[in-house]
Chains A and B, each alone.
Chain A
Amino acid sequence: MLRRLAAISLGIVLLFAAPRVETARRPRYGGVLRVEIEAAVSSLEPTRGVKDLEVSGAKRQFDALIYDRRNTDGTFSSVAGSGLFQIAEWEPGKHATLTANENAPGGRPFVDSIQIQMGRAARDMLLDLELGKTDLAEIPVEQARRAVDRGVRVSVSQPDELLALVFPAGRAGTEDARMREALAAAIDRASIVNFILQKNGEAAGGLLPQWSSGTAFLFSTAADAVRAKELWTQMPKSAKLVLGYDLGDPLEQSVAERIVVNAREAGIPVMAQAISGAGATAMAASGDIDARLMRLRMPSPVPRVALMNFLAALSPVTKIDASPLPDPASPQDIYDRERAIVSSYCVAPLVWLPQVYGLSARVRNWIAPGPGETWPLADVWLDGPAEAASEKEKR
């Protein structure tokens, strides 16, 4: 009932990439929602004893759909099928079919079932969206604009993922803070946003986005090649710096290559090198990397929580101060900590990335989830064939 009320109240949904006003429609029950995701989930067992924030994104989505009750620390505690959907078919890592739980707390989901295809490549998902073979799929942020140009409905979240340049501690090439500063100053963040991200995202100067902390504007994002060159000339001649990026992440590769170009223009020799895996573990394993790109997803819109989470992720690699902030922390406390970290140049924030979703014409009531939120698939309903065709014609 609550969901129905909510659906009625949100009859008009503003979709980020389709700046049109949705006409009010009555929610419709039924239909099969076809979803494609890039990740491959191999098990649906509840991740007990592990905090929700630390569970991988896709698994967390599944957990949110099939489990109901949570413990006080946020972990799921109930059995499968107690949530919004029940598992009808399950092929680990490939395919899952979830059917609506008629007895779900808060009411039955609108769609009858959800068919989830896992392990799909971004290109294939985009193609399926164009061809109408799927209703909901993830789209890489750098391809959002192209997807729109190709007639795909996209939904873009607030920028909640930080792409940063992280300097591991103890590397001779970047031991001197001036070296790190030189490289950070050489990077043209605006170009990364405008060209690589196709204007989907924001240049990042601090560790929290403007919409979250309200102080991001205090951090400079402008490139300063002259300063970078000046700093670099003060350094003793060294071998090429090695910039690592995730082998399977085209966006990181593009950004890394752009950083190489920016650095080269500033006279800093940098070489991009793909490394397998992402995150702190991969970085720790890559002993010969002087700097690497890391994606840090905000687990919560709360600045203190997000910042502490970032610091916890970065501290093992960069040895930055990860001591807890006061709770509650004042904006000044948060800003001071951010400033201290940014000024150490152990981490150079680059850009804030939003999450982009592609939607078919019949999908209704989709709201891009914010930090820490799961996909609101139970709130989505699907147009009937006639409405969908009409909608498609309109588009």
Chain B
Amino acid sequence: MTFRSKLFWVFTLALLLSVGLIAAGVMVVTQRAFEDLNQQHSDALVAQFQREFERRGQDIVHRVQGIADAEPTVRMAIDLSRPKSDVSIYVNDARGVSHAHQLDILDFAANDGSIISSAEWPARFGYKLSWVTQQEDWAARGSFLTKVETPEGPTLALMSVATVRVGDNNLYVAGGQRLGKEFLASLVLPTGMRALLYLNLDRAYQPANLLDSNGPANDAERFAPILEKEQQQPGQQTAKINWTSDPASAEIFHALPLLGRQKELLGVLLVGNSQREIAIVENRIIWLALAVVGIGLLIGLLLSWWGAARVTRPVRNLAEGAREVAAGNWNAHVDVRGGGEIGQLGRAFNQMTQQMSEQRERLVQSERVAAWREVARRLAHELKNPLFPLQTTVENLQRAKEQRPEQFEEVFRESTGILLSEIENLKTITDRFSDFSKMPQPELAAVNMNEVVRSAVKLFEAQFGAVGRPPITPELHLQEDLPAIQADSALLHRALENLILNAMDAMPAGGVLMLRTTNNNGKVHLEISDTGTGLTPEECDRLFTPYYTTKQHGTGLGLAIVQSVVSDHGGRISVESETGVGTSFHIELPSQPARRAQTIPSIFEKEKGKEG
């Protein structure tokens, strides 16, 4: 992945992350705001309910007290205080009075609690309303919630009790209003909210006892968990009901326990808050956020692309320059504008390549000079040997001509023999130089390296154990399953010969020549080690320089040829050596040579080029 791509993705991810975080933050803040709003609505409704409850309670207290204070009630009380009073004439009174005072529940009860007249259940006359006689001070009690028996079954009512005392007898007036759908319908609710009332008339949860403003609530079974929890532990609770898989259908219900006189749970008010509006707004926010994110991403991507391109252009130029340098173009120059680290880097790069180019030029010059010197020295050395006999022979001929003409013929024959021999030497020397300059291109074919090694070693077997020379012991460690490589076996054979010759020269006192082949991940690795005198590090550094030799009669071309062969096969050669221990050459050859390795043109080729 390019730096530009990385930078682009970094910008993009950073943008995504930022936008995502902002969107999430907005969502969370919005959701919390809505939750707070919901809570406020619910609290307001609960407070409204409590106020309404108190207001109605006070209203009922006033109405019941009004009934108790009314003249007919007082007369009834007086009548009832008389011995053997006839209470039957009052049996229907409660109904009319309750209608007049808009009470659902109204009972007149005698001093012993027996019902004289009942509005909600007229047929219940004569039976005891025992709880009215238990409370000591009804006036102080005010209104309260209680369970009331009706012909339809028990129900909840907000009640108040007033007493009319005549002598030692009390007439109890117990009146109130049912807590049911009418009460719920009278609550003014904000849009999206609703109130339900559960009448806790049974031990177990009864769905039929859950009412809304229209009567029994729909899907009342869904409220079972919250109401059962409320039955077990009364208190304000909150629960969410998802009516369908659509989040907009959800409602959050706040449960408010309604307690009776003995703090028993008589009912539960459920204030439901629809999540529809919130879901709609949340959806809008999500879509808006997605749109913003989309647009932002698009713009961000374009900006990232542009920014990455702008930022990486100098870097890419630098990389291109570095690649050019790596390819040998040390004159590479990058176009860097502006300041900053990248600009400094570009300028430093340009300065570096310029300096490297100059140094290389200088190095090439010095190497060229050194090489020419070495060539000159080697040529002089090589040529000096045959030239000296040539000179001596010619001088002998001259001397013989002048001083001993009679022997001249004999001297001439000997001298011409010597001259021809030395001239032959000179020709040999020039041929060797010519051969090196004309190294052929490898002709590739499938080659088993082990075969090449065995062939080369076999060539030298006679010399290893030659008489008058300390023996050299060859050791072959050849991996059998070595893969075949595409190579020129003749060139490899030649290179191997040079290395073996070098090793033999390095072991004048004999030793061990070890050749090892191994498969190194598809590449063939060849190691040639000797137990000879070894090389110094300086010698190692210059070992592959043409015409460099440490031997008295070497041409300095052997290892240069080896390096040339290895290089032509796309391989690598290295040397390890320790003085007094031995030297190891490591050659690594690929199974298939890559394109021809680009090497720095030889100084000779350069010279040729200049000449050409």
Contact = CB atoms under 8 A, between A and B. Distances in A.
Interface of A: 145-146, 149, 188, 191, 194-196, 198-199, 254, 257-261, 265, 272
A194 B84 CA distance: 14
B100 interface: no
Contact of B88 (A149, A195, A265): A195
Interface string B546-588: 0000000000000000000000000000000000000000000
Nearest to B125: A195
B231 to A, nearest CB: 25
A194 B122 contact: no
A351 to B, nearest CB: 14
B122 A254 contact: yes
Contact of A145 (B89, B123, B151): B89
B127 interface: yes
Interface string B116-127: 000001111111
B481 to A, nearest CB: 95
A191 B126 contact: yes
A261 B91 contact: no
Contacts of B151: 257, 260, 272
B88 A261 contact: no
A260 B125 CA distance: 12
Instruction: From A146, A198, A257, A261, name the one whose CB has the most chain B CB atoms within 10 angstroms.
Output: A261
B122 A191 contact: no
B412 to A, nearest CB: 159
A134 to B, nearest CB: 23
Contact of B121 (A145, A146, A191, A261): A261
26 contacts: A145-B89, A146-B92, A149-B89, A188-B126, A191-B125, A191-B126, A194-B88, A195-B88, A195-B125, A195-B126, A198-B88, A198-B89, A198-B91, A199-B88, A254-B122, A257-B121, A257-B122, A257-B151, A258-B123, A259-B123, A260-B123, A260-B151, A261-B121, A261-B124, A261-B127, A265-B127
B89 A261 contact: no
B127 to A, nearest CB: 7
B66 to A, nearest CB: 23
A257 B89 contact: no
Given A257-B151, A272-B151, A195 B91 contact: yes
A9 B434 CA distance: 183
A257 B126 CA distance: 13
Contacts of B91: 195-196, 198
Contacts of A195: 88, 91, 125-126
A146 to B, nearest CB: 8
A376 to B, nearest CB: 31
Contacts of B123: 254, 257-261
A-B CB proximity, top 7 nearest: A257-B123, A258-B123, A195-B91, A194-B88, A195-B88, A261-B123, A195-B125
Query: Counting chain A CB atoms within 10 Å of each CB, which of B91, B92, B122, B123 scores highest?
Result: B123
B493 to A, nearest CB: 115
Nearest to A271: B151
Please classify how large the interface on chain B is, using the bins under 10, 10 to 19, 20 to 34, 35 or more: 10 to 19
A145 B92 CA distance: 12
A196 B117 CA distance: 11
Given A254-B122, A254-B123, A261-B127, 10 more contacts: A145-B89, A191-B126, A195-B88, A195-B126, A198-B91, A257-B151, A259-B123, A261-B124, A265-B127, A272-B151
Interface of B: 88-89, 91-92, 121-127, 151
Q: Which residue among A145, A195, A257, A265 has the maximum number of chain B CB atoms within 10 Å of its CB? A: A195
A259 B151 CA distance: 11
Contacts of B126: 188, 191, 195
A145 B91 CA distance: 12
Contacts of B125: 191, 195
A195 B118 CA distance: 12
Contacts of A149: 89
A194 B151 CA distance: 21
Nearest to A257: B123
Nearest to A192: B123
Contacts of A194: 88
A151 to B, nearest CB: 15
Nearest to B117: A195
A196 B88 CA distance: 8
Contacts of B127: 261, 265
A89 B126 CA distance: 50
Nearest to B118: A261
Nearest to B124: A261
Nearest to B152: A271
A188 B88 CA distance: 14
A337 to B, nearest CB: 32
A197 to B, nearest CB: 9
A144 to B, nearest CB: 12
Contacts of B122: 254, 257
A261 B122 CA distance: 10
B390 to A, nearest CB: 147
B566 to A, nearest CB: 109
Contacts of A265: 127
Contacts of B124: 261
Nearest to A188: B126
Contacts of A254: 122-123
Contacts of B88: 194-195, 198-199
Nearest to B91: A195
A188 B125 CA distance: 11
A365 B89 CA distance: 29
B149 to A, nearest CB: 9
A28 B345 CA distance: 143
A191 B124 CA distance: 10
A201 B29 CA distance: 78
A384 B125 CA distance: 45
A272 B92 CA distance: 19
A383 B127 CA distance: 48
A196 B123 CA distance: 8
A194 B122 CA distance: 14
A261 B121 CA distance: 9
A122 to B, nearest CB: 14
Nearest to A193: B88
Nearest to B116: A195
Q: Which of A149, A258, A259 has the most CB of B within 10 A?
A: A258
Nearest to A262: B123
A36 B151 CA distance: 34
A261 B126 CA distance: 10
Contacts of B121: 257, 261
A199 B87 CA distance: 11
A141 B387 CA distance: 171
B99 to A, nearest CB: 14
A260 B88 CA distance: 19
Contacts of A272: 151
B468 to A, nearest CB: 133
Nearest to A198: B88
B55 to A, nearest CB: 33
A195 B125 CA distance: 8
Contacts of A260: 123, 151
A257 B123 CA distance: 6
A272 B126 CA distance: 19
Nearest to B151: A257
Nearest to A258: B123
Contacts of A198: 88-89, 91
Contacts of A196: 91
A386 B91 CA distance: 38
B436 to A, nearest CB: 123
A251 to B, nearest CB: 12
A295 to B, nearest CB: 18
Nearest to A190: B126
B526 to A, nearest CB: 106
A332 to B, nearest CB: 37
B155 to A, nearest CB: 15
B349 to A, nearest CB: 101
A265 B127 CA distance: 9
B146 to A, nearest CB: 19
